[in-house]
Structure 1
Amino acid sequence: MAQNTDSEQCSILVMASGNGSNFQALIDAVTSGQIPNSRITQLVVNRGKAYATKRAEANNIPWEYFNLISHGFQSKTDTDPAKLQQARENYDAALAKKILASDQRPDLIVLAGWMYIFGEHFLDPITAEGIRVINLHPALPGKYDGVNAIERAYEDFKAGRLEGNKTGIMVHYVIKQVDRGEPLMTREIEIQQGEELEQLKERIHENEHQLIVEATAKVVREIMAAKSQ
């Protein structure tokens, strides 16, 4: 049977920083065809001990470690805000250039537990080339932007400040404003009375695995429809 050509497949680059359980969900969904007409061409990690790399190796997916400090963009001792900002801009630009120069240039970038905020020096050149960038975030649109979203929602729940006792998750397009891009899919999750934080995290992660697959499949279908025109 003839292999699909690039025009018949959506090339996906995944970025992760840790365990990579959402990366694994994407791998499984591509393999099963739940994410159709697609292949994961590369994993990029920004933490040297990210277990996601083991998942990549087990599935014959190339991976690369690219870090702000280890690759010389920022010194551990830098405290000057201007230098720190310049370092991030240089890192963003270098990573964008690396991706665009690759023989495996992606159609879609999925941030699956990527613990780093991209600025315009990454997003502008990537999106200018028509590459879509989506992110998974464990909160609903406009709620708990940034880090520790689950913990902050849980604290509000315990304090009686969480409306309807509901938090949630979303997959959204990535823009310069943190977690404020257009939502692709959302899912509400009600926090249960007596539930501990770790129990909530486990339930949220289970839902994340489903939502990131569904949202990625949706975007892939849109990309492939555009390719066929």
Structure 2
Amino acid sequence: MADRQEQPPCRILVMASGNGSNFQALIDAVAAGRIPNSRIVRLVVNRAKAYATTRADSAGIPWEYFNLIGGGFLAKGERDEAKVREARERYDAALAQRVLAGSGDIRERPELVVLAGWMHVFGRAFLEPLEREGIRVINLHPALPREYNGAGAIERAFEDFKAGKTTRTGIMVHYVILEMDMGAPILVREIEFREGEELAQLEERIHGHEHELIVEATAKVVREILEARPAK
């Protein structure tokens, strides 16, 4: 078998919605070789003012803005549940096609999609086309498996700590499936609460752990992808 370092790099697409500090951690880790033999081929954001795009520009990584409302899938202020559901399905399907198209070059099609602070819950229309093509999708979530799924996880855990219901929370990187934050964990880290710590301090501490865990988990999955490639 050829030396794995002689293989083409594993192609990673990152999706982010905001500041992009976890995206920056991935950029730095790829550059330092902590994520082996890999390349970030593109960034997708769904918020026009996401600072992650500035990070992408600095690193020379192409990016695109693709938004549910801005893309014309959903009228601003629409409340009809059926229309919202249909719009989300069309958006997911369109985004899946963009991912599979690889920016017009099939050689740029990602092998791994990393959701790094991506504020949109995907449905079948996105996940199934990628699964058929063998593209893995992983997500960072600031809670332990089967605890505090969905938005506001840190705040809800902190409230339970203040109420004496728990002494720890955590973070995980997991595979993305239809059930929100319920996919198989890749890496998990427990984080103990500290007496006297305020929510803002806890959030800062958790974010520091997130930067480490998302790199470690991405590296683990990249190694698996590289090892699973057929021998030449």
How far the C-alpha of 1:59 sits from its partner, in A, is 0.3
Identity %: 66
How far the C-alpha of 1:77 sits from its partner, in A, is 2.9
Equivalent residue number for residue 168 of structure 2: 166
1:189 to 180, 188, 191: 191
Distance 2:183 2:153 in 1: 16
TM-score (norm 1): 0.96
Equivalent residue number for residue 13 of structure 1: 13
Equivalent residue number for residue 61 of structure 1: 61
1:125 to 94, 115, 129: 129
Distance 1:110 1:228 in 2: 23
Distance 2:78 2:132 in 1: 32
Distance 2:216 2:144 in 1: 16
After superposition, where does 1:104-183 map in structure 2 within 5 Å? 104-162=108-166, 165-183=167-185
Runs (4+) of structure 1 exceeding 6 A deviation are: none
SS state of the match for residue 202, structure 2? Answer: helix
Distance 2:91 2:8 in 1: 32
Distance 2:131 2:217 in 1: 18
SS state of the match for residue 113, structure 1? Answer: coil
**Structural RMSD (CA):** 1.0
Distance 2:230 2:21 in 1: 32
SS state of the match for residue 42, structure 2? Answer: strand
Equivalent residue number for residue 23 of structure 2: 23
1:210 to 196, 206, 212: 212
Distance 2:162 2:197 in 1: 10
Equivalent residue number for residue 52 of structure 1: 52
Paired positions, count: 223
